[in-house]
Amino acid sequence: MSDNVNSYARFLNSLSKGRQPSLIREMITIMSTAPPEMISMAGGMPNPKLFPFKKMTVQLKDDTTSISLSGTKMEQALQYLPTGGLPSLVSQLKTLQEEKHSLSPDVWLKNDIIVTSGSQDGLCKCLEALLEPGSSVIMEEFVYAGTLSIIEPYKPNYHVVTADTQGMRPDSLKKILSQWSPGSEDTNAPKFLYINPTGANPTGTVLSSERCQEIYKICSQYNLLILEDDPYFYLQYQDQDLRSPSFMSIDTEGRVVRFDSFSKILSSGIRLGFVTGPKPIIERINLHMQASVLHASSLSQVLVSDLMSQWGSTGFNNHIKEVEDFYKNRRNKLYEAADKHLMGLCEFSVPLGGMFLWIKVPGLGSTWDMIMQRGLQQNIMLMPGRAFQPDQTAPCQFLRAAFSIAAEKDFDTAMERLAQLIRKEISLQEHQS
């Protein structure tokens, strides 16, 4: 580990430092690995004999595979779990991270994993541990709106890094950080960089390999944690040999906290995600969970663990390939429709990952009223770009079109309606001026 990261205490706020382990939660963790002869009278766990559910069978879409829960396994799915997660699932997730991010045993000595109620819950708990009112926060000029909803109540000092079709620009990041000395103890200096590197929401960009390496070096120089929020990691549309490494895969200093999600690849309703990162940070997230949700859904964890056991690495990878092919085909069709109706009117590029087409309308000062008022009247719904800006009062020329769930047969009609809407808006704007 670099001498820079010699204490994680500097990253944590006073509230997080003040959290203490719940003895009840700690005892449940001990009980999860206790030998059969252990007689436990410590935990106030409800008796599973009174649970009204006896058996559950979940049929998979291949029509040949099912997951059946009964007896002890059903009891486990309905009972309290350790805050860190179902031990079998945590073990499977560690194996998955080792395979996908080439993590070495040395990295695991300083890293750990925790299962959360969706990756956003993990991100929320982490930010709750790091932020103080008025904290300096570094992020791109357009970021996931849910992240802004977590951060905004702290009334932070935003430092916005410019980006292009290859993602965050290292030269812009360097320029922002140059106002502080490397290793500065200035309380106004930022403590972390938040970044959505793959199929970024809303822009659809994928951070290039060169930029990933350069940004990591800059964060190392200025001793920043990297919050790698990556829910679209498994929705990439480039060939495998062209894909960029994750920040976690190049982390040698213990400064990357990575947030993964099952929402985009298994189900959003199971509410499962997981956080991988330095043990002192994962411990803080664990303590925040002990004081709130206790643990992610037991039923969801048991189901996913059984599913991953049945699939194995080959089955999981085959499923990911199917998911990526499905969304890539949809991306292509929406892009074709946009190219047909919006070319010359708007600016956009092919998204390399994720679920969104990011569109700039140079002829407009702002897309807000067009989308939120007149667009709904014309039966076309998109997201105005302003919703993704740290400063949500500033005008914005962008809008986001999701290609994940709308019927493919409607893509052409949607882009045609959008083109008509934009032309009317430009005309309206010209008359108002």
Q: What is the pLDDT along the chain (433 residues), one digit of tens a residue?
A: 444 455 898 888 777 877 776 666 666 677 667 777 776 666 677 888 899 999 999 999 988 889 999 999 999 999 999 999 999 999 999 999 999 998 878 888 899 999 999 999 999 999 999 999 999 999 999 999 999 999 999 999 999 999 999 999 999 999 999 999 887 778 889 999 999 999 999 999 999 999 999 999 999 999 999 999 999 999 999 988 888 899 999 999 999 999 999 999 999 999 999 999 999 999 999 999 998 999 999 999 999 999 999 999 999 999 999 999 999 999 999 999 999 999 999 999 999 999 999 999 999 999 999 999 999 888 999 999 999 999 888 999 999 999 999 999 999 999 999 999 999 999 888 777 6
- Give the distance, in angstroms, between the CA of residue 181 and the centroid of all CA atoms in the same chain: 30
Domains of the chain, residue spans: 8-312, 324-432
* Architecture (CATH level 2) of domain 324-432: Alpha-Beta Complex (3.90)
CA 424 to chain CA centroid, Å, is 36
Torsion of CA 59, 60, 63, 64, to 10 degrees: -90
- 287 contacts 16 by C-beta, under 8 angstroms: yes
Determine the pLDDT at residue 24.
Answer: 61
3-class secondary-structure state, position 347:
strand
How many whole angstroms separate alpha carbon 156 and alpha carbon 134? 4
Contact 251, 202 (CB under 8 A): no
The two three-digit tokens of residue 412, written as one number: 């052409």
Whole-angstrom Cα distance, residue 264 to residue 343? 30
What is the rounded CA–CA span in Å between residue 383 and residue 142? 13
At 243 the pLDDT is: 86
The pLDDT value recorded for residue 2 is 46
Q: How far is CA 131 from CA 14, 360, 388, in A?
A: 9, 32, 20
Q: Determine how β-strand 356-360 pairs with β-strand 383-384.
A: unpaired
Q: Is the pTM of this model over 0.85?
A: yes
Rounded to whole angstroms, the Cα distance separating 369 from 142 reads 19
Q: How far is it, in rounded angstroms, from Cα 231 to Cα 116?
A: 13
The β-bridge partners of 227 are 194, 257
Q: Under a CB-based contact definition with an 8 Å cutoff, are residues 275 and 122 in contact?
A: yes
Residue 218 · residue 170 · CB < 8 Å:
yes
**Element containing residue 214 per DSSP (H, E):** helix 209-221
Dump the DSSP string for 59-125: E-TTSS-EEEEEHHHHHHHHS---TT--HHHHHHHHHHHHHHH---HHHHTTEEEEEESSHHHHHHH
CATH number of 8-312: 3.40.640.10
Q: How many CA atoms lie within 13 A of 125 on its CB side?
A: 31
By CB neighbour count within 10 A (0-12 exposed, 13-18 middle, 19+ buried), where does 333 fall? middle
Helices and strands in the chain: count of H runs, count of E runs: 14, 14
